[in-house]
Each structure stands twice: as C-alpha cells, then as structure tokens.
Amino acid sequence: MSRFDNKVIIITGASGGIGSATAKKLYSEGASLVLVDLKQEGLDKLIAENQFSRERILSLTGDVSKKEDVRAYVQATVDRFGKIDGFFNNAGVEGPSKPFEEYTKEDFDFVFGINVYGVLYGMQEVYKVMKKQGYGSVVNTSSLAGLMGSPGTTVYNTSKHAVLGLTRCAALEAAEIGVRFNSVHPGVIATGMMTRIEENVAPGNAEQMHEAYTASVPMKRFGQPEEVANVAAFLLSDESSYVTGSIYTVDGGMINQ
C-alpha cells in the first residue's frame, strides 16, 4: 500500500515547477489530487504529459488572492471527494526587484494578495473542513527568503516571512484538534520563478547572477523541484504525524552560512 492511497490532496500553484513536481510525486503514490492554478492551459499540460487519470484528478482555475475563488476550490474538493486529507498551499509570485525605498503600496498589495492573503485564505477555508474531520496536514510554501534578508527583493522576502508567522500561529491553535501546519522553505531551485528572479535582480546579467547564486550554495548547485516535492510529501503524509509548526529548509545548506 502506498503512502497516499485513498488520500485527497489540494495543490495550489499546481502547474509551476514545485507544484507540478509535487503533483507527480503524490499521484505516483496513490493520491487523488485537486490541482489549482490561475490558468487552465498549464493544468491541462500537466495532466496530459503525465497521463493522470481523470478519476483521481480535479483541475480548477482560481485566483488565490480572492476569497470567493478559494472557497470555490475547497467546496469543489468536498463535493467531488468528500474530504481533504492534505493541502499543499503553494501558489506564489516573486514580485518586482528594486531597492527597498522604491517599493510602492501597489507592489506590496500585489505580492501580499497572493503570497500572504492567498495563503491565509487557503488555510482558513481548508481548516474548516479539517476541523470537522479532526485531522489533516497543511504545508505552506515559504522560502529561504522567509528566514533571511536579501538585497533587491524586500517585498518577496517580507511576504515569505509572513507565511512563517501564519504557519506557526495556526499550528499552535490546531494542534489539539489533530490538524498540522508546517512550512517548507526552498532555496535556489531550478524553476521558472528562479529564472525570473535572476533576470529581475540583474537585468541583462542573469547568467552571472545564476553563477553567483550557485557559488553561494554550500552544495554548489541549484536544487531540483523534485527535492522540494520529497519534503512536502513527507509533511503531507502520516509519517510526519508528530510534526507541526516546523520549518523545513531545502536549500543545499545556505541557511547555515
């Protein structure tokens, strides 16, 4: 029997690098998945390329910064599968890169709408279901940027610090009920988002930025999305039944410097 047989897991940002890798991992271990993203095209591509059976897949479009969209994907999950065993609260954006004194309220509103409010809304709506069940696991995607500072990415770092605060507080409130909240903190991972960050931080010098990021990692390489998926899968599984409010870095050792 696989770890996720008869389990129902929601993944937001499902068509992105980490989201899609986690979907593949969970599906291969028996999970039924609810895949949520802003555009249907990416979800269709993920399903087709991996030959996911529609019997175990529900794909939904939605804007996580809108509470009505979050309520809709949670309700659709319950209507289809009757429960929610796990939630990979993964959707996020990097936002603009600039000196901190140049950030505007509009910059913060955009990034926080997805990275903070989107995470909060997902936690709140999924928790309503898990609280009635008396069990469930929520994994929030923060970032190494949620544990440290870096120049030029103030709004992104600040939003990811907020995700850690949300995780820790919810974990304490939900512990006696049997619902767990943990956060995963990827470092430099080979995804489209990381490519955009390199281009935004150093316009015209993305290749040099990539080399600099690689050199800053003790393991001297970028991580792969599958390496984040492995940690997320552990936290979503019953193998982590005594783990809540915890921080899991997937960063090749960067946090230790």
Q: How do the domains of the chain map onto residue ranges?
A: 8-190+225-251
3-state SS class at 253 = coil
Instruction: Measure the CA–CA gap between 221 and 246, rounded to whole angstroms.
Output: 25
Instruction: Measure the CA–CA gap between 209 and 157, rounded to whole angstroms.
Output: 18
Residue 205 banded pLDDT, cuts 50, 70, 90: confident
pLDDT at 165 (0 to 100): 98
pLDDT at 201 over 80: no
Distance of alpha carbon 70 from its chain centroid, rounded? 15
pTM for this predicted structure = 0.95
Whether 156 is catalytic is yes
Share of the chain above pLDDT 90, in %: 89
Architecture of domain 8-190+225-251: 3-Layer(aba) Sandwich (3.40)
pLDDT at 17 (0 to 100): 96
Where is pLDDT greater, at 202 or 97? 97
Residue 49, both tokens: 């390329």
Are the C-beta atoms of 228 and 80 separated by less than 8 Å?
no
Active-site residue, from 27, 156, 213, 242: 156
Once rounded to an integer, what is the mean pLDDT over residues 207-213?
Answer: 86
> What confidence tens digit (pLDDT) does each residue in 116-163 have?
999 999 999 999 999 999 999 999 999 999 999 999 999 999 999 999
> What confidence tens digit (pLDDT) does each residue in 55-91 have?
999 999 999 999 999 999 999 999 999 999 999 999 9
pLDDT at 78 (0 to 100): 98
pLDDT at 81 (0 to 100): 98
Residue 14 banded pLDDT, cuts 50, 70, 90: very high
Instruction: Measure the CA–CA gap between 232 and 14, rounded to whole angstroms.
Output: 13
pLDDT at 200 (0 to 100): 76
Q: Identify the DSSP state of 104.
A: -
pLDDT at 43 over 80: yes
pLDDT at 197 (0 to 100): 80
